[in-house]
Amino acid sequence: MTQAAAAVNIADEAAYAAAVQTAVSASAAYYGDGDSPLDDDAFDRLVRAIAAYERAHPGRTLPESPTGKVAGGAVVGDVPHTVPMLSLDNAFSADELASWAAGLERRLGRPVERWSVEPKLDGLAISARYRDGRLVQLVTRGDGAAGEDVSHGIDSVLGLPRRLESPVTVEVRGEILMTTAQFEAATAARVEAGGTPFANPRSAAAGSLRAQDRPYKVEMTFFGYGALPLSADAGFGAGTDEPTAERLRTLPHSEIMDVVRAWGVQTTAATPVAGTTAGTVEEVQRRVEEIAALRGTLEFGIDGIVVKADAALDQQQAGFSSRAPRWAIAYKLPAVEKITKLLAVEWNVGRTGIIAPRAVLEPVKVDGVEITYATLHNAGDIERRGLMIGDSVMVHRAGDVIPRVEAPVVHLRTGAETPIEIPSSCPNCGDTIDDSQKRWRCVKGRACTAVTSIRYAVGRDQLDIEGLGEKIIDQLVSAGLITDFADLFTLTREQILGLERMGETSTDNLLAAIEAAKGKPLNKVFCALGVRGTGRSMSRRIARHFATMDEIRAADAEAFQEVDGIGPEKAPVLVAELEELAPLIGKLVAAGVNMTEPGATTPAERAAVAQAAAEAAEAAGADPEEAAAAATAGDGPLAGMSVVVTGSMTGPLADLSRNEMNELVERAGGKASSSVSAKTALLVAGEKAGSKKAKAEKLGVRVITPEEFADLVADHL
């Protein structure tokens, strides 16, 4: 018996029968409204266990067993498919993929001519039928032989044109799903209309496509993955014209996808995970790894990679089993969604007074990481999702994304669930909560957690005041000597000497460190303020863009949006935060703290330089816009590059912290990033670089050692 079978404990015939019933019921829910009681990983393990039991006990297979059937045999439809719409067999490892490929080549008696590799989209398989170029019918997969007519949903689907660029009669097959933004909008609309939240994007797409009397509007997206000719006897006029039909029967799959795109149907070609071809199984595996590495960066869900024999002749000769083509397989990726229990909700108060709820979960492994906590964003998010203590909840995690609770699995409720207690006063100090914004805040703001705010401000990556430990800060606040970190700059020698365990030498050293902190660059001072929506990296960008604190304080929301990474939602928050922090900033100025960024120029100064360059270029007959852009463009060896640093630094960089490395990247003209993606230009890989280095290599990102990086940015060290 396989490990998967043992995991669900199919020990005897009774357990086998129960497992079959569970799988069929879960499959019916999954292919119905999408609300399965099992997450994808649990369902896959259950079906594999059922198959293992059946192999070990030939002749005892139940007729209703999901093995060997499309959609587990749990769904039916009343619209016949012109060609069976089958499922795919699965591979769960590189070895299984290689074994399948070798088996296909043995069946053919020769090597596969070429392979096609494309993402397996996590949505609802759909047949879109066109008559003379006009979309006339949408049909679900159903049981593979017949599906459900969902043509009423045509107007909700993007990427599927109402008219093709060519007036052909054809069937386009593909996947309907919801992007992250569409899912959030659909969930909000459903809750506002009095419904329960969707569990995940797939169930949202499945349920919304079938619903005919929704009191709200939703938007979905279609990606095509194939096309077939339609015959006259299928009720589509004269059927597909013979030249088009012949092309669809004989062209390689990759070229058929070119035809589909030319008709105006959306495919994954414009996405980071565009379908490609490969000549060998080794090339296939590399592309599989590349797509898997990009999974967390996508705006839509994928749960695997589809590998196919590309040539039509290979497909025809390989043929089909009862439920799947023998020439294609789905390489399944580890699940990024799991169902677990919501045990409690913790309410934490941050250094700016923000009150943030956190879900405490029954530990569950998602995407290779054990998850115990997940974000809940705010009280409104809890109410909108209808969460209760004891709920079975869908937890999502992909790549470097912080785990989040999507929604309760409502149909798994037992009645023992209890409401989540929403605090009526600040959980930290007991004062009033300001609930006028989505994110609640204690009315005391930073004063609620003054000690936390001061500890943050004097940390190594901010003002870096050596000798000012937590116990000293606690004493200073308790004695009423300081209420914020600006008060540190007015402390006297006598006041510090009065603290426990502070002698003359340690006092003088601390005063010297406080005095030295006055000369820190603006980006450090701004970061010490703890402005909501900013961190070390954003503080550096803001300081470099505005050059002085006066310029920052004078900036309106529109001016802030000129800074990379600040959009229309964040900009007004920054303006409001700086207004609130005005007294603190004023105290810092009065204390003589530096308020300028070395080497930076103000927006007005850059505008003047650009204007002068444009006028000079125009007088010389050159392009003034190009001259202005060149005059104000950033310089340095990393100009315009996104750089990620990982692992322990060595050589000349051995003593630099991660934040200091990021500062070095930005001094050299680059943009420091914490995660590797297709946009990453360079990875600095130190000792024990780990997964980020592996991901960069898969994506073809340039990887260099700390010593090589030190040589590259030597002038900026």
- HSE of 168 in the Cβ direction (CA atoms, 13 Å)? 26
Residue 162 gets which letter from DSSP?
A: S
Residue 659 in contact with residue 527, Cβ under 8 Å? no
Bridge partner residues of 119 (DSSP): 305
- Measured torsion, CA atoms of residues 34, 35, 36, 41, in degrees rounded to the nearest 10: 70
d(CA 100, CA 321): 14
Instruction: Evaluate the CA torsion angle 71, 76, 77, 78 in order and state its sign.
Output: positive
Contact 284, 101 (CB under 8 A): yes
Chain-centre distance for alpha carbon 182: 14
Residues 6+ apart with CB under 8 A from 359: 342, 344, 345, 373, 374, 375, 376, 393, 405
CA neighbor of 534 nearest in space, from 563, 556, 500: 563
Calpha distance 684→453 (Å, rounded): 32
Judge whether 245 and 229 are in contact, CB under 8 Å.
Answer: yes
- Residue 492: CB atoms within 10 A of its CB come to 11
Among 120, 308, 332, 692, the active-site one is 120
Q: What is the DSSP letter of 121?
A: E
The phi, psi pair for 427, rounded to 5°, reads -65, -15
Is position 120 annotated as part of the catalytic site?
yes
Pairing between strand 302-309 and 115-121? Answer: antiparallel
What torsion do the CA atoms of 319, 324, 329, 333 make, to the nearest 10 degrees? Answer: 180
Closest CA to 153 of 198, 101, 91, 218: 218
Q: For the chain, give the number of residues.
A: 717
- Residue 396 tokens, joined: 């999502």
**Number of other residues whose CB lies within 10 A of the CB of residue 633:** 10
Q: Give, as one character, the DSSP assignment of residue 581.
A: T
Give dist(CA 114, CA 407) in Å, integer.
Answer: 42
CA-nearest of 356, 323, 348 to 67 is 323
Contact call for residues 584 and 530 (beta carbons, < 8 A): no
Q: How far apart are CA 635 and CA 208, in angstroms?
A: 51
Distance between CA atoms of 440 and 423, rounded to whole angstroms?
Answer: 10
| Residues contacting residue 610 through CB under 8 Å, at least 6 positions apart | 628, 629, 631, 632
**What is residue 665's DSSP assignment?**
H
Which residues are designated catalytic?
120
